[in-house]
Amino acid sequence: MTGGMDLRNLCGRFRLNGWAIGLGLLGGGLGLTGCGSSTAGAVVNTQPQVTVNGAGQVRLGSTAQLSATVTNEPTTSVTWQVNGVAGGSAALGTISASGVYTPPAALPATNPVTITAISVSAPSVSGTATEAVWNPLPTVTAAVIPQDYGATSGILTVTGTGFVAGAQLQVGGASVLTTMTSPTTLQATNPVVASGVTPVVVDVVNPDPGSATSPITNAQVQASLHSTARLLDQATFGPTLTDIQHVETVGLPAYLNEQFAVPTTLEADITTPPPTLCTNNTIPCQQAEWWQVALTGQDQLRQRVALAMSEMFVISTNMVNARAVTAYQNMLANDAFANFSTTIKDVTLSTGMGAYLNMLNSAKPGVVNGVPQIANENYARELMQLFTIGLYMLNQDGTLQLDPSGNPIPTYTEAQVQAFARAYTGWTYATATGGVPTSFPNNTPNYDAPMAAVESQHDLIAKTLLNGTTLSAGQTSGQDLAGALANLFSHQNVGPFVCKQLIQHMVTSNPSSAYVSRVAAVFADDGTAQHVRGNMQAVVQAMLLDVEARAGDSNPSFNGGHLREPLLYMAGVMRGLGYTFVGAGAGTGAEYYYTPSNSISPLGQRPYASGSVFNFFAPEYVIPGTTTNAPEFGIENTATAVLRLSLADNLVYNRVQYFNVDLSATSALGMMASATGNATTDSTNLVNALSNLFMHGQMPTQLSAPIIAHVATILNNPAERVRVATYLVITSSFYKVEH
Amino acid sequence: MGVDRRTFIKYASLAAAGNAAALRPFGALNALAQGTTPDYKALVCVFLFGGNDANNTLIPFDMAGYGNYATVRGPIAIAQNQLLPLVGSLSPNTFALNPSLPEIAALFGSSNVAMVANVGTLVAPTTKAQYQSGATVPTNLFSHSDQQLEWQNAAKSGATQTGWAGRIADQLGSAYNSTSQVPMITSVAGDTLFCNGSASTPVSVSPGNLGGAQCSEGITECAAQQATAQALLSFDSGLTLVQADNTITSNAYLYAKTLTAAVQSVPSLNTVFPSLNGLAAQLKQIAQIIQVRAALGVNRQIFFCGVGNFDTHSNQLVLQNALLAQMSAAMNAFYAATVEMGVQNNVTSFTMSDFSRTFQPNSNTGTDHAWGSHHIVMGGAVKGGQMYGTFPTLHLGGPDDSGTNGRWVPSTGSVQYAATLASWFGVNAAQMPLVFPNIGSFTKPNLGFV
């Protein structure tokens, strides 16, 4: 309409071209020729005129300052329109009184937009400029390639800002098929190969208008959620978000090495006198210490191995003083990564085991008050049957050796049980200072010291042990003990016998014979220059990083795993949901940590409360009506299955006495459950979060879809959504069986 | 035990309160619940885990017999004047019971209890000489786990994956319980081999927790939540253990619904069971289920219960006496409950245990694992007041000692004991070898005590 307008338009085009071909230098040059200047013409114009100046383009997410120059009018103020709409609109972008144009959230339907400035004093006079709206400049804040353990590729995920539809990931400068998850997240549709050594260079290209490329970033290769959460399920008392993120960063082997180095969280001796809670019974105080360590200890792997060992080398508060049990637990935790020969010696001389299986105060055979007595066979038998070699000769892969008739071959005879029983005679409680008592039996307990031997009570007759080994006549208690334990430790059964059970407790009920064999081989020789036998740290590492342990990382339907025993179920849900101890009020202490035992007691389990040395369940247990070996199913039946449903109800209802969990509408899960107001979206996000916490992000659609559909029917009650979704997840057999 | 026991019980009662609320949707009363069944029989196994010392359970009372006992047992011998002499049909003053068994002694006197002497696991009748010259006997004779399984399967090999009650259920289920909503076998002491058949699995019941799961959401949401939870069980993930747990949980929903509906319609029994007695709680639960047998549609039932800690390697007198006292009071109350229900002639209870213990004590005033043992059979149908089988000669290294410490070679096989009970229960001659593949090795398949 006016010359000024034409001139401004001209300038706008030049500037656009200038940007496209070489940015500011040429544009600046054009500016010097007079664009936007009202004094460019030779003829002086006296008509009122409005001239609008601006950069001519603006990126989404930023703003543009426009200016209006009013000439030949008494006042210079203007009002602004966008495409004829005063002040603009959400769809067109808005413009402020001072001429700041803010583009809409996404590219406008008409692009560029026209900005009009209208003189206030002469409303018929206006000037316009066009403003092209461009896609934003993409930036990358992080690029990660999560890999399942052992894999060499993973789905590249890039987070940053300014991603728009059509944004393209480039890996090493080449475009890859890209899925846009959100304006801040892009994923490569297909796995990207990454060695972890050569950097994977990543950038993001936004499309036209204003196509632009982010600076390059090196993608970080990290452990996948599948691998980290699964490992944590196997190696700890349950994954937490914090632990998952940590292991994702450092990777599985480094995490294990960290855990091997974490010092033992020791249970304190129960005080004398005990806390008021335990005046008449110290067991709750022992239980409290156990739960506090399991739920909060930093030495999670050590404690998890100690749990497995406590279910292999069983003692029970049913028969053993709780003070001896805390000492025993500390011993197992300290020895979790020690040499197995150390563990078995410490178990043997512990007062807890001594009292439980009666090596404590077992005297040599003899005639007392005219009555002939025999050496107590209890520990001698169970040390072989249950703790070291088992009943039958084994191959390294854990399968039975058979005689020519196809029958299993017993490992020992009743006569050998009696010989070992005599080898273990003479031991009783040490004195208060850990010394040898002057009388036998010494019935003043010292639970913190190993048992001590009273030589006069030790059997001196020669003993014929396994594999032709003989303990000479006349040896001391200590010599016979060392000889007997060395005889057992060197037996070929120990590796497969112990390793298979450790695998069953921590990884899978039915390990392949090849898996058992690989781990047992590490037991036999840890691969170091010293060729150490019985290195349990090496065994634990080999067990957890074995291809069979990790197969489920990438293949959720890999047929393995084991039922979560009530202890692990309770701890896992409590840690996953973020239960915290609140105690019983002022003046009370950590002794009230015992209450999770109340929650699971009806299911047939409490820490260190097995009904017998055969543990809560037997390693060889077979599910009725099947041929499937699955130890933990020994306490899973139609009664306990119902009780576990009730336990889950208590857990989602914050009913663990002296603990608290926030699953309310304002909790993290609660807010997720109502974030968008779209029932399906919110329920999906909630269930996905629970899948990450409890199923390693591997919940199958056949489970998630019905749960999402159900939860979405719950309206206006985010807390109930959280409770019901959590209940349905943790009561599903897919969660109960850790796999 | 003060605080611990109180708090544990307190929490248990919370769960029980929830059960009642949660089960309202299934609360339809069953008019048949208190009806009678014309031909009802039940077997009740009381398992004494750990190996009960039979030598201090049933004791010779005559001068010479007791004298020999006291000499060998020394520190763990029970004074003769504390023993409970058995009357019944026995010659006076020949045998006596442990002083912790007064109720059992009284039931023996009223001919409702019989004793079966020196029963143990055998492949075939075996003498000491045969044993010592290598005759085939069950494997791992003195191992708890193996001998528990041997007693429970009563088969040729401990490796058999079915128990003798389970095999009875396989054989008799369709004939007797064709309309039943629950399995023939109920365990109130967890899962054991005894209860597992080839085609049948037991229902497990937690004593005092008969009903379904507690749910704290509103009634409507609880029903919906349970429906979804049950629907999730039908998803076949292909994972063996997940599938196994789906099956158990599905059955759990079904049985809880059935049992709860049945028991809601009957008044409590008047019989008082001893408190703070785990075995009594189990037997009380069994009695409650027998009470609603008609509603459950069962004509034959087998129950399993048990009590542990009989592995008395030390301090035996104190430990065993307390356990036997618990057992005696619990079994007595259970018998009284069967009388109250009028089914005392239809219910036969019996003990089993891993093994007996060495007649010779060890150096911790305890005893070690042995073999042949004495057992108790109780019920109105029992030909009680008598001792069956052959009492062993209690001499170390004597004619019945498998070695030198008093581990008696059984004179009666556990399979004969089991087959006698099974025969009363309704297993016919044709079915007998199917249930007890080894019974043909014994000349006397029925001991005649019931």
Convert the pLDDT of each residue in A573-621 to its tens digit. Answer: 999 999 999 998 887 899 999 999 999 999 999 999 999 999 999 999 9
Given a contact cutoff of 8 angstroms between Cβ atoms, the answer to whether A495 and A523 are in contact is yes
Q: Does residue B362 contact residue B313 with C-beta atoms inside 8 Å?
A: yes
Task: Return the structure tokens found at B221.
Answer: 């949401």
Query: Which residue of chain B has the CA closest to A409?
Result: B139
Is A611's CB within 8 Å of B360's CB?
Answer: no
What is the pLDDT at residue A38? 44
Question: What percent of chain B is modeled with pLDDT above 70?
Answer: 91
Contacts with A261 (C-beta within 8 Å, 6 or more apart), sequence order: none
| pLDDT surpassing 60 at residue B229 | yes
Q: Tokens representing B292?
A: 């609603």
Best interface-test mutation with A: which of B1, B4, B141, B161 has the largest number of A CBs within 10 A? B4
Other Cβ atoms closer than 10 A to A153: 16
Is the minimum CB–CB distance between B250 and chain A shorter than 8 Å? no
pLDDT computed for residue B37 by the predictor: 57
Q: How far apart are the first and last CA of chain B?
A: 41
| CA distance to partner chain B, nearest, from residue A448 (Å) | 22
Structure confidence at residue A502 (pLDDT): 98
Q: Between chains, do A624 and B231 touch, taking CB under 8 Å as contact?
A: no
Å from B450 to nearest chain A CA? 30
What is the distance between the alpha carbons of residues B230 and A237, in angstroms, rounded to a whole number? 27
Angle (deg, nearest 10), helices A494-506 and A536-545: 50
Instruction: Kindly report the backbone phi and psi dihedral angles of residue A298, in degrees, each rounded to the nearest multiple of 5, phi listed first.
Output: -80, -20
What are the two backbone dihedrals, phi and then psi, of residue A525, each rounded to the nearest 5 degrees? -155, 115
In this predicted structure, the answer to whether residue B43 has a pLDDT above a threshold of 70 is yes
3-state secondary structure of A89: strand
The SS3 of residue A664 is coil
Of A381, A625, A737, the CB nearest to B245: A737
pLDDT tops 70 at residue A33: no
Chain B: closest CA distance from residue A622 (Å): 8
- The domain limits of chain A are 3-133, 139-223, 228-261, 356-489, 495-554, 573-584+624-738
Tokens of B357: 């213990």
The two tokens of residue A333 are 């935790």
Q: What is the CA radius of gyration of chain A?
A: 37
Domain A139-223 coded CATH 2.60.40.10: yes
pLDDT in tens, B93-145: 999 999 999 999 999 999 999 999 999 999 999 999 999 999 999 989 999 98
Contact present, B403 and B108 (Cβ < 8 Å): no
Mean pLDDT (whole number) for B414-441: 97
Alpha helix segments (H runs only) across A163-269 = 225-235, 241-250, 252-261
Decide: residue A120, CB within 10 A, 0-12 exposed, 13-18 middle, 19+ buried.
middle
Q: How far apart are CA B291 and CA B198, in angstroms?
A: 28
Tell if the CB–CB gap between A372 and B308 is shorter than 8 Å. no
Percent of chain A residues past pLDDT 70, beyond the cut: 94
For CA atoms A644, A649, A651, A655, give the dihedral sign. Answer: negative
Q: Phi and psi for A51 in degrees, rounded to 5?
A: -120, 130
| Across A539-565, average pLDDT | 97
Work out the minimum CA distance from A370 to partner chain B, whole angstroms.
8
Contacts of A642 in chain B (CB under 8 A): 206, 209, 211-213, 252-253, 256
Alpha-carbon distance values, A636 to A631, A642, A729, A733, B204 (Å): 10, 10, 18, 12, 9
Under 8 Å between Cβ of A73 and A122: yes
Taking the C-alpha atoms of residue B180 and residue A1, their distance in angstroms, rounded to an integer, is 96
Tell whether A646 lies on the interface with B, counting CB pairs under 8 A.
yes
- What's the fold here for domain A3-133? Immunoglobulin-like (2.60.40)
pLDDT (mean) for B228-247: 96
- Asked if residue A687 has pLDDT above 70, the reply is yes
Segment A465-484 shows an average pLDDT of 98
Residues with Cβ within 8 Å of residue A259, at least 6 apart in sequence: A235, A299, A300, A301, A302
A115 shares contact with chain B (CB less than 8 Å): no
B311 touches chain A (CB under 8 A): yes
Residues 6+ apart with CB under 8 A from B198: A625, B162, B166, B167, B170
Which domains occur in chain B, in start order?
36-216+273-441 (3.40.720)
Interface touch B363/A362, C-beta < 8 Å: yes
pLDDT tier, A74 (very low <50, low <70, confident <90, very high otherwise): confident
What CA–CA distances, in Å, run from A421 to A363, A384, A413, A477, B278?
10, 11, 12, 12, 33
- The 3-state DSSP class for residue A58 equals strand
Find the angle CA(A473)-CA(A474)-CA(A476) to the nearest 5 degrees.
125
Strand partners, A660: A580
Q: Is A559 on the interface with B (CB under 8 A)?
A: yes
pLDDT at B158: 63
Q: Is B272 helix (H, G, I), strand (E, B) or coil?
A: coil
3-state SS, residue B310 = coil
- The distance of A16 to chain B (nearest Cα, Å) reads 60
Taking an 8 Å cut-off on Cβ atoms, the answer to whether A653 and B19 are in contact is no
Using CB atoms, pick whichever of A281, A378, A614 lies closest to residue B3: A281
**Is any Cβ of chain B less than 8 angstroms from the Cβ of A609?**
no
Q: Does A700 touch chain B (CB under 8 A)?
A: yes
Contact criterion met (CB below 8 Å) for A731 and A652: no
Among candidate residues A469, A463, A434, A427, the one with its CA nearest the CA of residue A448? A434
Cα diameter, chain A: 140
How far are the Cα atoms of A133, A177, A266, B230, B288 from residue A16, in angstroms, in the given order? Answer: 12, 31, 71, 65, 91
> Letter for the amino acid at A386?
L
Q: Which residue of A has its CA nearest to B183?
A: A638
CB contact at 8 A, A178 and A167 = yes
- Quote the CA–CA distance of A96 and A77 in Å, as a whole number: 13
Task: List CB contacts (< 8 A) between A365 and chain B.
Answer: 363
Q: Which residues of A touch B75 (CB under 8 A)?
A: 368-369, 371
d(CA B384, CA B88): 8
- What's phi and psi for B316, nearest 5 deg? -65, -40
A205 touches chain B (CB under 8 A): no
- Work out how many CB contacts closer than 8 A connect A with B: 275
Burial A54-85 (b: 16+ CB within 10 A, else e): bbbbbbbeeebebebbbbebeeeebbbbbbeb
Task: Give the E-state strand segments of A66-172 in sequence order.
Answer: 67-71, 78-82, 85-86, 88-89, 93-95, 100-102, 113-119, 126-134, 139-147, 153-154, 157-161, 168-171
**A296 and A336 Cβ atoms separated by less than 8 Å:** no
Angle (CA) A435-A441-A445 rounded to 5° is 60
* Cross-chain residue pair A283–B195, CB shorter than 8 Å: no
Residue B190, phi then psi, degrees to nearest 5: 80, -175
The 10 Å Cβ neighbour count of residue A111 is: 15
Q: Does B249 touch chain A (CB under 8 A)?
A: yes
Is the pLDDT at B20 greater than 50? The verdict is no
Q: Would you list the DSSP string of A510-528?
A: S--HHHHHHHHHHHH--SS
pLDDT of A198 reads 83
Instruction: Considering only residues A628 and A36, tell me which one the structure prediction assigns the higher pLDDT.
Output: A628
ipTM of the complex: 0.86
Q: Of A43-52, A108-117, A226-235, A263-272, which gets the smallest average pLDDT?
A: A43-52
CB-based contact (8 Å) between A435 and chain B?
no
Taking CB atoms and an 8 Å cutoff, what residues of chain A touch B211? 642
Cβ distance B190 to A362 less than 8 Å, yes or no, reads no
DSSP assigned state of A263 = P
- Please check whether residue B9 touches A, CB under 8 A: no
Question: Across residues B277-287, what is the average pLDDT?
Answer: 97
pLDDT at residue B179, rounded to an integer: 86
Query: Any CB–CB contact under 8 A between A278 and chain B?
Result: yes
- Which residues of chain A have a CB within 8 Å of the CB of B166? 624
Chain B residue with the nearest C-alpha to that of A355: B314
Taking the Cβ of residue A374 and every Cβ of chain B, the question of whether any pair is shorter than 8 Å is answered with: yes
> Largest alpha-carbon pair distance within chain B?
74
Report chain A residues whose CB lies below 8 A from the CB of B19: 646
CB contact under 8 A, B161 and A627: yes
What does the pLDDT average to over B3-18?
29
Nearest CA in chain B to A731: B229
The pLDDT of B200-223, averaged and rounded, is: 92
Strands A212-213 and A192-193, bridge-based pairing: unpaired
Kindly state the average pLDDT of the residues A359-368.
93
* Residue A662 predicted with pLDDT over 50: yes
Residues 6 or more apart whose CB falls under 8 angstroms from that of A529 comprise none
| Contact yes or no for A359/A480 (Cβ under 8 A) | no
Q: Enter the tokens of residue A258.
A: 């960290």
State how far the Cα of A497 lies from the Cα of A468, in Å rounded to an integer: 21
Q: With CA atoms as reference, report the closest residue to A728 among A681, A694, A698, A697.
A: A694
The token pair that represents A155 in the structure block:
């789905």
DSSP A437-474: -SSSS--S--TTS--EE-GGGS--S-EE-GGG-EEPTT
Measure A208 CA to nearest chain B CA, in Å.
46
- Using the Cβ of B2 and the Cβ atoms of chain A, whether some distance falls under 8 Å is answered with yes
Write out residues 132-151 of B within 8 Å (CB-CB) of A: 139-146
* Average pLDDT rounded to a whole number, residues B46-68: 97
> Which chain A residue is nearest to residue B246, measuring alpha carbons?
A733
Domains A3-133 and A139-223 share a fold: yes
Of A601, A639, A703, which has the smallest distance from its Cβ to B235's Cβ? A703
